[in-house]
Amino acid sequence: MISQNEIIHDDCIKVLKTFSDNSFDLIFADPPYNLQLPKNKKLIRADGSEVIPVSDSWDKFESYEEYDIFTENWIKECQRILKPTGTIWIMGMYHNIFRVGKIMQDLGLWFLNDVIWVKIDAMPNFNGRRFTNNHETLIWAVKNKNCKNYTFNNEFLKQMNNGLQMKDTDWIFKICKGRERLKDGNGIKAHPTQKPLKLIQQVLLSASRKGDLVLDPFMGSGTTAIVAKALGRNWVGIEKEKKYVDLANMRIKKYTEQAR
Ligand SMILES: C[S@@+](CC[C@H](N)C(=O)[O-])C[C@H]1O[C@@H](n2cnc3c(N)ncnc32)[C@H](O)[C@@H]1O
């Protein structure tokens, strides 16, 4: 029996193995990016302030091989526990999404779309040596090639789009900032990679129904839980860092109190 609407504080690979086959209606995963930032290199904005990149230990892997093994292990389990009517969304950037995509295809997951989240207010490339990296990719897939009856709320999306088919795979949303962005007591980002609520809302509205069970194996600041709760979906989150489990639980509690 899966305890729903809770965050499990542990390593997701260990936890995923405990779930039964075909248990979840939708899996949303925002895994480590494996950014591989050069050591001691500072990024400075035009105004002289320093950019604080994702430098947490959860994002560090010794090699591509180590990252691939980790990635295959958690995706393999997600594939097993995803219902044949369910879908999985995995998001990432150019650092990791191509490796993630190859692993997904090698495991037999079947791609439905790759959605591009266009970040209209992305951080510019400060030293002008390449283009601004202004998007992330979400791969949307089913368990295998034979899964045809997956949830896609085409009619609902059409109604929300003035009666026209919602056909765009480029989704334009601002990055998470302002009041939505969680900060610590010193005004510093409480989680380095908090995603916008609207992005995950679009995922859940497109591919899940009320009462469905949604899994996020990399829960971070709890964005998926907030959206799932607001939309009447049940959810399970996994997060290995205690400080983020606490942050997400506080956020969920605050949201619940406000929603009353
Ligand atoms: C990219 S962030 C997810 C951010 C989240 N979508 C949000 O909006 O806050 C990835 C998260 O996964 C967690 N994590 C990394 N490796 C993990 C693992 N093996 N098991 C569980 N959580 C893990 C990290 O601590 C981090 O909070």
- Which DSSP string do the residues of 117-156 spell out, in sequence order? EEETTPPP-TT-SS----EEEEEEEESSTT-------HHH
- What pLDDT shows up at residue 1? 80
pTM: 0.94
Q: Which of 58, 69, 202 to mutate to test the pocket of ligand 1 (most atoms within 8 A of CB)?
A: 58
Give the model's pLDDT for residue 56.
80
Q: What pLDDT is attached to residue 95?
A: 95
Q: Point out the residues of the chain with pLDDT beneath 50.
A: none
Tens of pLDDT, residues 104-149: 999 999 999 999 999 999 988 877 889 999 999 999 999 999 999 9
Give, using CA atoms, the residue closest to atom 12 of ligand 1: 218
Which numeric CATH code is attached to 26-208?
A: 3.40.50.150
Residue 32 Cβ < 6 Å to ligand 1: yes
- The angle, 0 to 180 degrees and rounded to 10, between the axes of the packed helices 197-207 and 223-230 is 50
193 lines ligand 1 (CB under 6 A): yes
Identify the residue whose tokens are 């679009």: 202
Q: Are 228 and 235 in contact (CB under 8 A)?
A: yes
User: Collapsing DSSP states into helix, strand and coil, what is residue 32?
Assistant: coil
Q: Any idea where the domains of the chain sit in the sequence?
A: 26-208
